[in-house]
Amino acid sequence: MLEPTPDTTTAAPPAPLRGRVLVVEDDRGLLEVYADVLLEAGFDVAAASSGTGALHALDRDAFDVVLTDVVMPGCTGLDILRAVRERDLDVPVVLVTGNPSVESAVVAVEMGALHYLVKPVGRDELIRCVEHASRLRKLAGVKRDALRYLGHADRPAGDRAGLEAVFARALGGLFMAYQPIMRTLDGSVFGWEALLRTKEPAITGPLAFLEAAERLGRVGELGRLIRASVARTANQRRGMVFFINLHPDDLLDEALFDPSAPLSALAPQIVLEITEQSPFDSILDVRDRVRRLRSLGFRLAVDDLGSGYAGLTSFAVLEPEFVKLDRGLVQGLDSEPVKRKLVASIVAVSRELGITAVAEGIETAAERAAVAGLGCHLMQGFFFRHPERWRDGDGVSLAAEGA
């Protein structure tokens, strides 16, 4: 019997894997078919026959793509999509269903599913969709690396499921930072502005936080949490004046007008700021709502004057006690005659109307001196103090007097 001739040729290196895929399907026959097709196509595949099993797999391993059935007992494909977004903002999710409908397709797209496949799924279509998803996953990683290299902060995830996950973490890490508003005359503290912050790194600032709330239709929820937080702080520091920013949509929230709400009990020491950057056109009964706020004892401020809409609408509707000059008007005031003339006119007319002007964004001694010389009674900015987080029971080194 002849011995086989040994193969002396060099074996070709294995082809690189196309990516790691988690396949979720409660029909075990289909699960095996999907897994075999993707394995043959060069993917590294993990399989789960239930939503619960998929959640365990997501906790253990990282995946480049998730392919999941939509309808499964106990945990649906959309539940898995949300779970993926809680763990990673960039992993593409491909949904598969045997009962397609317009409604479920709309929800799938809104939640951020990359593909929505209808059973039976052909071999080529399956490979094409998963391959496309894997390539997008790589592109997302490269984009994030480039953003970090260039020093640009990431924005919240673009799809709804990712945004919901980020927003939930942001709410869990929400806190308020406080910055003093100073009297020009003697340098004492008039009050404190409460500024929205979060420990969630994917939310890069208060504007991103508000943008996420707007996109998710959760502005009211965010506003209630902000007011509750400030109420706890103000309750421990009776007599201090606190300025709180309102989103225009907060004016549609009946909780704001509830006399039994924690903040309502402290209304005489609260100034509600409403930015001039948003019109009141969508609030038909805005004057009545403003009247209700005043009946509770709140005072009002027009915020960001100089960066919003032209005209007198905000003043006519709110009849504010305070007007806050936008940083854009204050920056470089000491060296720009046109700005000085504008600010001087605003301060003078505000005084005639019984409105107190607050200059925001003071960062230099020259800006402070210029604003003071124009007769502005209140100032705020990094020149005096950066916003700081207060913890319950913390003392305040600058004593604030009520007004």
Taking only the tens place, the pLDDT of each residue in 259-274 is 999 999 999 999 999 8
Measured CA to CA, the distance from residue 214 to residue 21 in angstroms comes to 33
Which mean pLDDT values do the consecutive 10-residue runs of the chain (403 residues) have? Answer: 40 60 94 95 94 91 92 87 84 87 72 83 93 84 64 60 87 96 95 95 88 91 96 93 93 94 96 77 80 96 69 70 89 89 87 91 95 94 94 48 42
Q: How many residues does the chain have?
A: 403
- The string of DSSP codes covering 31-81 is HHHHHHHHHHTT-EEEEESSHHHHHHHHHH---SEEEEES--SSS-HHHHH
pLDDT of 281: 62
What sign does the dihedral 200-303-249-103 (CA atoms) show? negative
The two domains 20-150 and 161-389 share their CATH topology (first three levels equal) = no
Domain boundaries, the chain: 20-150, 161-389
Q: What is the CATH number of domain 161-389?
A: 3.20.20.450
CA separation (Å) from 98 to 30, 101, 123, 126?
12, 10, 16, 15
pLDDT of 292: 96
CB 396, CB 180: distance < 8 Å: no
Specify the CATH superfamily of domain 20-150.
Response regulator (3.40.50.2300)
CB 48, CB 5: distance < 8 Å: no
Name the percent of the chain in helix, strand, coil, to the closest 5.
45, 20, 35
pLDDT of 182: 97
